[in-house]
Chain A
């Protein structure tokens, strides 16, 4: 789990489900993304594209005036709210598109349900551009084996058989889950789609997500094993 996701998880653990107001985070350590490239970085970079005089590198954009600049804490929280429900951090930290590019992305994603206020788009675009500078190389990417990649979505052993109460699961879902994941689990900007989701066939991972939370998903530590089985039975019945 990345430090940022962990941080967001901790924030929401302490904030609780009902509150959307996250408390201010402790200042985050600068990440690799914000540090100058190491001397060995060019070797692992993409082949240098042929010179293109028409396209100088986009200069790092200053935080957008006239709006109030976004602090690192606010930016990190907003990133968790707006992006990390649907995307993992790599996609964001590899994206080096400057303020105008980020603004266009935020507008597109807001139209698709991302949790970001319209008035915040300008200042947040500035934060993204500064936090992920176009003129600096992103951190070296992680690697994964095919076995681990497949395991991330593969059903757990024996996962097909769950004896839950579908109606009780539907009631629990309506009470605690529907506000973020949608009434039919079709997903919203606050919580991703769950229909046919691989995690429905990974009961132990599902239980951990429920009881410990992740990202902006709060922990529901009071739910019992049978509550969780009921939820799974309900969710698996959805199409």
Chain B
């Protein structure tokens, strides 16, 4: 699950605590700040879940998902091309975008397939475990302001993001995603900055979509343009990919009807302790994050006994829709073996389920999170 074996984790933890006493944290810091390689080419890199403890996930441990390889785009000559049902089609330069009202928003970016490797039966696709998720402060321009600037026709119903990356081969469909115009006008950003730094190539430079509350497949990177139209894109990635059973199906089953993956379901993760950790008895902090697309998380509970009994954790408030909330639980740990669990409940009353909703694409895994640990006597 994490790049480290238990022994390595303990070593890092040990080095970290000794080093912090002496002020030499660099090596331990560097060792802990790695990404897990799910695919080297193109790069699919997972954040070790133990790194998900900050309000904003640092850029150097932020997970990377690439459908195809990143395109090298010359920011100097780059324009955002706008076409379709608009009054002023054409190109907007980065300078013109910067001149529109720009804004900052915190938002959770989670791959639709985060947790795919945890489904049984197993599924094809990037074998993400728990860490294809992160939280950043994004800066950019509101898509609603861009749409207002170009003047959208009355018949417009969808915005399709036109990406700059190229499929590996001519026969492979382009990665085209559409969102409804209502969502486009609600809270979507076109971002050039991530956690105060210019967007890096791996994260979508020069411009990417930020679609709060929705899965990462909508957060198109390396944007080259927008198509405004009366229908969603007819291609593979809208019509076949990123579909979820309309009604629950048994594991391994085939859905009769499907719907598009959009909102992230309610979810929490235990960042620490790490899987397989050996802890000393006494006060321990169990901590993590919780998020969901439907609304703020209202309750976070931790179980020390695989869900037999639950305890309320201390939960931060949600600063704005689409942000994550950190939580922590102070635990007077007694010696023994534990299967820790976390579950979140959102403002609509939706509770993180014990079992994931198995689906053929391996999307939207949100079962109770789970960490095994030992408390030594």
> Hey, which bits of chain A sit against chain B, CB under 8 A?
40, 43-50, 52, 54-55, 57-58, 85-88, 90-91, 94-98, 101, 104-105, 111-113, 134, 138, 140-147, 149-150, 152-155, 182, 186-189, 192-193, 195-198, 200-201
Contacts and interface: CB of A to CB of B under 8 A. Distances in A.
B5 interface: yes
B276 to A, nearest CB: 4
A149 B35 contact: yes
A81 to B, nearest CB: 14
Nearest to B173: A112
Contacts of B71: 195-197
Given A143-B3, A153-B201, A196-B73, A50 B354 contact: yes
B371 interface: yes
Given A43-B276, A150-B200, A48 B34 contact: no
A153 B169 CA distance: 19
Contacts of B117: 46, 94
Contact of B275 (A43, A96, A152): A43
Contacts of A88: 39-41
Interface stretch (B15-23, B93-101, B119-127, B147-155): B119-127
A141 B122 contact: no
Interface string B25-40: 0000010011111111
Interface residues of B, number: 70
B35 to A, nearest CB: 6
B69 interface: yes
A80 to B, nearest CB: 14
A54 B202 contact: no
Contacts of A91: 38-39, 44, 126-127
Contact of B250 (A50, A54, A86, A196): A54
Contact of A149 (B43, B118, B251, B371): B43
B1 A143 contact: no
16 contacts: A47-B1, A50-B355, A50-B367, A55-B120, A91-B44, A94-B127, A112-B171, A141-B38, A145-B33, A149-B35, A149-B202, A150-B202, A187-B167, A193-B68, A195-B166, A196-B164
A6 B275 CA distance: 35
B276 A44 contact: yes
Contacts of B207: none
B130 interface: yes
Interface of B: 1-7, 30, 33-41, 43-45, 59-61, 64, 68-73, 117-124, 126-127, 129-130, 164-173, 200-202, 250-252, 275-276, 354-356, 358, 367-372
A90 B2 CA distance: 15
A215 to B, nearest CB: 10
Nearest to B37: A142
Nearest to B236: A112
A interface, by DSSP: helix, strand, loop or mixed? loop
A125 to B, nearest CB: 12
A87 B39 CA distance: 8
A46 B130 contact: yes
Contact of A193 (B64, B121, B166, B251): B166
B132 to A, nearest CB: 13
A43 B33 CA distance: 20
B33 A146 contact: yes
Contacts of B124: 95, 97, 101, 104-105
B6 A196 contact: no
Given A45-B1, A112-B169, A141-B36, A198 B72 contact: yes
A98 B124 CA distance: 10
B74 to A, nearest CB: 9
A40 B7 contact: yes
A98 to B, nearest CB: 8
Contacts of A147: 60
Contacts of B165: 196
Nearest to B251: A55
Nearest to B365: A49
A40 B127 contact: no
Contact of A48 (B59, B123, B201, B370): B370
Given A47-B118, A49-B356, A50-B367, A145 B30 contact: yes
A197 B164 CA distance: 11
A49 B45 contact: no
